[in-house]
Amino acid sequence: MSLHPADALPCTTHRVPPLWRSCHLGPALAVTGFATALAVTAGRGPAGAAEVAAAVLAGQLSVGWCNDAVDARRDTLCGRRDKPAATGELPPRTVAVAAVTALWLCVPLSLLSGAAAGAVHLGTVATGWAYNLWLKHTALSPLPYAVAFGALPAFVTLGLPSPSWPVWWAVTAGALLGVGAHAVNVLPDIRDDLAAGVRGLPQRLGRTACRWLTPLVMLGAVGVVVAGPPGPAGPASLVLAVVAGAVAVSATALPWGLRSRWPFRAAIAVAGMAVAQLLLRGPDIV
């Protein structure tokens, strides 16, 4: 991965669609949208929200491209037809160059929010790279997700004109959502992962255990957002909690196919509902 931006990305147009497919664009845009909404709610203003959006998007793209570059050989052996670096549509080196370029851009974009906020965000991006390069093979595989999701509110609030740490329940809920997202993300691939020697925590627990544990983690995250803030939860919060619970259970308890992506999409939906809870609480996250 010792690449330099001078290794220019190919400019031919036929490279563009597979390159975007390699960056995990859906999750990247979802996380960026959540962070931007948090920034608006916390009072960062239009310019501050734009800074958050640019930094988070660059970080997410770098982690996504890094993932596909590192996993290219394994994905080829597993017959992954949805991975351009595995099918030969895109050279793995091109994906790696894109990852490093996005990472370099992420540094100044993160620091636009200030030194403390920038350091927090760059730390979360570093955990994503650590997951791709090492931690995904260990029992500590949920840790980068917990850190990244849990630190997202801190990136937002530390960039305020009067920087401050976010409230405990925002950080806790984010961390729980990150752990849940990790579990449902690997669910469709547990069998292939084990065959390829990838033994993160979900793979060690097994598919059945993950299907049952993940809804509990997700529901715990939503419960923290509903019960953690001061004052009674309003009707909108209670309705969102019920809907989130139903979506989380449907994602893991129902007999979806082995390669179904619905569990991951449902995790994004539950995360969106948790963010909606945060938006309902407004400036209470500070």
pLDDT at 7 over 80: no
The domain tally of the chain equals 1
Q: What is the mean pLDDT of residues 100-114?
A: 97
- State the pLDDT confidence band at 3, using cuts at 50, 70 and 90: very low
CATH number, domain at 215? 1.20.120
Q: pLDDT tens digits, residue range 171-195?
A: 999 999 899 889 878 877 788 788 8
Query: Average pLDDT for residues 207-230, to the nearest whole number?
Result: 83
Q: How do residues 65-101 score in pLDDT, each as one tens digit?
A: 999 999 888 888 777 777 888 888 889 999 999 999 9
Q: What is the mean pLDDT of residues 105-116?
A: 98
Residue 95 lies in a domain: no
Mean pLDDT, all residues of the chain:
85
3-state helix/strand/coil string of the chain: CCCCCCCCCCCCHHHHHHHHHCCCHHHHHHHHHHHHHHHHHHCCHHHHHHHHHHHHHHHHHHHHHHHHHHCHHHHHHCCCCCCHHHHCCCCHHHHHHHHHHHHHHHHHHHHCCCHHHHHHHHHHHHHHHHHHHCHHHCCCCHHHHHHHHHHHHHHHHCCCCCCCCCCHHHHHHHHHHHHHHHHHHHHHHHHHHHHCCCCCHHHHHCHHHHHHHHHHHHHHHHHHHHHCCCCCCCHHHHHHHHHHHHHHHHHHHCCCCCCCCHHHHHHHHHHHHHHHHHHHHHHHHC
- The confidence score (pLDDT) of residue 143 equals 96
Band (259; pLDDT cuts 50, 70, 90): low
Q: Is residue 137 part of a domain?
A: no
Q: Higher pLDDT residue, 184 or 14?
A: 184
pLDDT attached to residue 156 = 95
In which domain, by residue range, is 273 found? 167-286
Instruction: State which of 27-41, 48-62, 201-215 shows the largest mean pLDDT.
Output: 48-62
Residue 26 domain-assigned (yes or no): no
pTM for this entry: 0.85
Q: Please state the rounded mean pLDDT for residues 14-29.
A: 80
Flag whether pLDDT at 278 surpasses 70: yes
Question: Is the pLDDT score of 166 beyond 90?
Answer: yes
Q: Is residue 25 part of a domain?
A: no
Question: Which has the minimum average pLDDT: 5-19, 157-171, 183-197, 259-273?
Answer: 5-19
Is the model more confident about 126 or about 206? 126
What confidence score (pLDDT) does residue 27 get? 85
State percent of the chain over pLDDT 90. Answer: 44
